[in-house]
Amino acid sequence: MVAPMPPRARATTIGDVGEFGFLARLLPRLPRGSGVIVGPGQDCAVIRCAGRRWLFTVDALVEGVHFERGWLSAHQLGRKGFLINASDAAAMGGRPRFCVVSLAVPSDYPLRDLTALQAGIVESAGEAGAVVVGGNLTRAQQLSVTIALLADAPKRIVTRRGACRGDRIYVTGTLGDAALGCRALHDRVRRGTTYAVRRFREPSPRLRAGRVLVESGIVSAMIDVSDGLVQDLDHICEESAVGAVIRTARLPLSATYRSVLSADDALALHGGEDYELLCTVPERQVKRLERAQARLGCPITCIGEIVGGRRIRVERPDGRDVILTARGYDHFRPRS
Amino acid sequence: MVAPMPPRARATTIGDVGEFGFLARLLPRLPRGSGVIVGPGQDCAVIRCAGRRWLFTVDALVEGVHFERGWLSAHQLGRKGFLINASDAAAMGGRPRFCVVSLAVPSDYPLRDLTALQAGIVESAGEAGAVVVGGNLTRAQQLSVTIALLADAPKRIVTRRGACRGDRIYVTGTLGDAALGCRALHDRVRRGTTYAVRRFREPSPRLRAGRVLVESGIVSAMIDVSDGLVQDLDHICEESAVGAVIRTARLPLSATYRSVLSADDALALHGGEDYELLCTVPERQVKRLERAQARLGCPITCIGEIVGGRRIRVERPDGRDVILTARGYDHFRPRS
């Protein structure tokens, strides 16, 4: 008797392992080079040039993945394309300086929209102290905006690595609004979500807060919340080899969030696109953080603390505590 | 009697004006900023950092626009994604140092191909003295590779502006091979085109030649030939407010090109993707260029000269001279 042939294995795809699965395999293998102070795997790379340090980062917005054209104007899309990069610079305390822009647009894209998109990039770059120095324009089926940003690095380097047991976990602003706004735009049920929709359309990168938190030496680790609080906290935990406890009663939620979602904390925990700063602060720095608060330009809230182990525990007031693994936004792994 | 309503005007699209039509409107309006020595509209921007100058550029390869997946391996695609950026640095005499990579890939893209693609980028960057310091990965319908590159700038800045009447026009390597290779892959008629297909798959950015030509002070203007000789020469002519004469009998053509296309010079004049250097050399520098030739690492050929006016005249041995306007590659304006 001949054993039946096993079905031919389908090749593993990026959709099977997801963005972070791929990066986990890739990053350890990448070669380092001279002049590279911090390599891939952080919000920005840190490179050295003529004795001075620069942050270098790239990010993209793709139609059908990050937005639909009806969800925001071309000008807003241009602004957002720059601002999400600025948020990466904020997470390491940088000052945006120079950017190059790669636009991919369908042939039938209206010229006035392309002009508005470009104007939005230039405008938001200018507001952040940066200038568009070059670009590339190509045809594509999906509209997309890819921007690479160079920022002045602060003297102190803060990455996702550095959180220690006992550190407090802080987050700026409020959580979950952009995800709520995105859902409202997607479902076309926008009653009461004006503020949330605005947060989706126009991120507020915390550049000033990032600089103060890094330069003052208050924070031990920092990241911007782009893929969802739990997932981005998991990046800090993984890099720092620690665990975390989050108290949902402390999550900073907007009036809009509370009125639309009441006690449902899913979007605040996992929503993504907040572009707030998530940082860890050693116990001995908490007093200094309190004194520095007025200089941050935004609220900052303690939502939990770093613990041993490698798990993230979410404590709810009703005692329905859960142990979470990261479950934030991954383009390649649609949520179940 | 009521006059009939005129048909509602369709909005002008990017496809109507093309990449260069859009850029001609956009570039003069872009704000300049401190630290920017050369702004948008050249092969690279030149920025100043701590008293030192850097070149900064971005370029993209998009499936269905620049390539089809069957035309080259994932590893070759990764290499090409880096090399076309290196060619922009070569055109200004730069040394590639740091790059960030933004990949957009379909969910069903095989993981092994993504790994090979990334390895191709890292490998070709390493060969050019550069290192991949960061990146971004997103889902998209079309596979695309976008890379932003920082390169050490030479002491002397050479752009597309600077050509003067009487300057000789030189080009490195041979012309039209990559376009011939692309056509062979597209038409699936590959007999005798092995060399041309290789030139399409693997550009050879002329980094060494670019540095020698810039640092020696031999060239008055330079560009890399990515959109076709005539179109890229037209960029030099436009920026320098001059015209040009090209003698087709002098065009450097490979044995493959001559054997497949014999006297048809269309691909050499307009083909694109050559990634050779096109430069102008003042009469008084010609002797120095001849002495420097051995150090370029590639052949260089005089193909014509800069003249007054704003037209490009193509002189053919049979007297069929033509006056050309730019007619190279524009993604948005398919050739008639």
- One domain for residues B222 and B295: yes
Of B103, B125, B152, the position where a domain reaches its end is B152
Distance from CA of A171 to the nearest CA of B (A): 24
Q: Under a CB-based contact definition with an 8 Å cutoff, are residues A276 and A206 in contact?
A: yes
- Residues of chain A neighbouring B44 (CB-CB closer than 8 A): 134
Instruction: Write the ipTM.
Output: 0.92
Average pLDDT of the residues in A254-259: 97
**Phi, psi torsion values for B193, nearest 5 degrees:** -110, 15
- Residues A141, A107: Cα–Cα separation, whole Å: 8
- One domain for residues B145 and B189: no
H-only helix segments in B74-192: 74-90, 111-127, 177-187
- One domain for residues A251 and A135: no
- Residues of chain A neighbouring B57 (CB-CB closer than 8 A): 100, 134
C-alpha dihedral sign at B250, B252, B256, B260 = negative
Distance from CA of A317 to the nearest CA of B (A): 37
Distance from CA of A153 to the nearest CA of B (A): 12
Of B152, B177, B209, the position where a domain reaches its end is B152
- One domain for residues A108 and A210: no
* pLDDT tens per residue, range A311-325: 999 999 888 888 876
What confidence tier does A176 reach under pLDDT thresholds 50, 70, 90?
A: very high
* pLDDT tens per residue, range A298-310: 999 999 999 998 8
What confidence tier does B328 reach under pLDDT thresholds 50, 70, 90?
A: low
- For residue B218, is it within any domain? yes
| Distance from chain centroid for Cα A99 | 18
- Residues B119, A264: Cα–Cα separation, whole Å: 43
Distance from CA of B190 to the nearest CA of A (A): 27
**Which residue out of A12, A29, A58 would a mutagenesis test of the B interface target, given it has the greatest number of B Cβ atoms within 10 Å?**
A58
Taking CA atoms, what residue in A is nearest to B43?
A134
Q: What percent of chain B has pLDDT over 90?
A: 81
Q: Which range, of A21-30, A250-259, B130-139, B275-284, averages the lowest pLDDT?
A: A21-30
pLDDT at B336 over 50: no
C-alpha dihedral sign at B200, B203, B209, B214 = positive
- Residues of chain B neighbouring A53 (CB-CB closer than 8 A): none
**Which residue out of B141, B146, B227, B331 would a mutagenesis test of the A interface target, given it has the greatest number of A Cβ atoms within 10 Å?**
B146
List the single residue in B52, B57, B142 with the smallest CB-CB distance to A50: B52
Taking alpha carbons only, the member of B16, B34, B23 closest to residue B227 is B23
Q: Which residue has the higher pLDDT, B11 or B257?
A: B257
Taking alpha carbons only, the member of B109, B226, B332, B141 closest to residue A144 is B141
* Contact: B132, A105; criterion CB under 8 Å: no
C-alpha dihedral sign at A92, A96, A98, A102 = positive
- Residues of chain A neighbouring B60 (CB-CB closer than 8 A): 102, 104, 136, 138, 146
- For residue B294, is it within any domain? yes
- Residues of chain A neighbouring B15 (CB-CB closer than 8 A): 107-109
- For residue A8, is it within any domain? no
- Residues of chain B neighbouring A329 (CB-CB closer than 8 A): none
What confidence tier does A62 reach under pLDDT thresholds 50, 70, 90?
A: very high
Average pLDDT of the residues in A90-113: 96
Taking alpha carbons only, the member of B285, B313, B271, B249 closest to residue B163 is B285
E strands present in chain A = 36-38, 45-49, 52-62, 95-105, 131-139, 144-152, 168-172, 221-225, 243-247, 276-281, 300-307, 312-315, 322-324
Of A95, A126, A152, the position where a domain reaches its end is A152
C-alpha dihedral sign at B65, B66, B70, B75 = negative
Average pLDDT of the residues in A265-273: 95
**Domain containing residue B227: CATH number:** 3.90.650.10
- For residue B4, is it within any domain? no
Q: How many domains does chain B have?
A: 2
pLDDT at A89 over 70: yes
- For residue B336, is it within any domain? no
Task: Give residue A56's domain range.
Answer: 34-152
- Residues of chain A neighbouring B14 (CB-CB closer than 8 A): 105, 107, 109-111, 114, 137
- One domain for residues A179 and A318: yes
- For residue B106, is it within any domain? yes
Taking alpha carbons only, the member of A203, A58, A78, A83 closest to residue A144 is A78
Q: Given this model, what pLDDT does residue B335 score?
A: 45
Burial class for B292, CB neighbours closer than 10 Å (0-12, 13-18, 19+): middle
* pLDDT tens per residue, range B153-202: 999 999 999 999 999 999 999 999 999 999 999 999 888 999 999 999 99
- One domain for residues B176 and B298: yes
Q: Given this model, what pLDDT does residue A158 score?
A: 96
Burial B149-164 (b: 16+ CB within 10 A, else e): bbbbbbeebbbbbbbe
- Residues of chain A neighbouring B150 (CB-CB closer than 8 A): 47, 56, 150
- One domain for residues B320 and B287: yes
* Contact: A45, B100; criterion CB under 8 Å: yes
Q: Under a CB-based contact definition with an 8 Å cutoff, are residues A172 and A291 in contact?
A: no
3-state secondary structure of A43: coil
**Phi, psi torsion values for A93, nearest 5 degrees:** 75, 25
* Count of A-B CB contacts under 8 Å: 241
- Residues of chain A neighbouring B135 (CB-CB closer than 8 A): 40, 58
**Domain containing residue B87: CATH number:** 3.30.1330.10
- One domain for residues B136 and B255: no
- One domain for residues B174 and B143: no
- One domain for residues B103 and B212: no
Task: For residue A290, count other CB atoms closer than 10 A to its CB.
Answer: 11
What string of DSSP letters covers A60-72? Answer: EEEBTTTB-GGGS
List the single residue in A14, A110, A137 with the smallest CB-CB distance to B19: A137
Taking CA atoms, what residue in A is nearest to B137?
A19
What angle separates helix B74-90 from helix B207-215, to the nearest 10 degrees?
A: 0
**Which residue out of B27, B122, B131 would a mutagenesis test of the A interface target, given it has the greatest number of A Cβ atoms within 10 Å?**
B131
Distance from CA of B184 to the nearest CA of A (A): 22
DSSP3 helix / strand / coil % (chain A, rounded to 5) = 35, 25, 40
* Contact: A134, B42; criterion CB under 8 Å: yes
- For residue B158, is it within any domain? no
- Residues of chain A neighbouring B97 (CB-CB closer than 8 A): 35, 47
- One domain for residues B56 and B93: yes
* Contact: B50, A45; criterion CB under 8 Å: no
List the single residue in A107, A136, A140 with the smallest CB-CB distance to B13: A107
3-state secondary structure of B129: coil
Pairing of strands B276-281, B168-172: antiparallel
- For residue A23, is it within any domain? no
- One domain for residues B194 and B226: yes
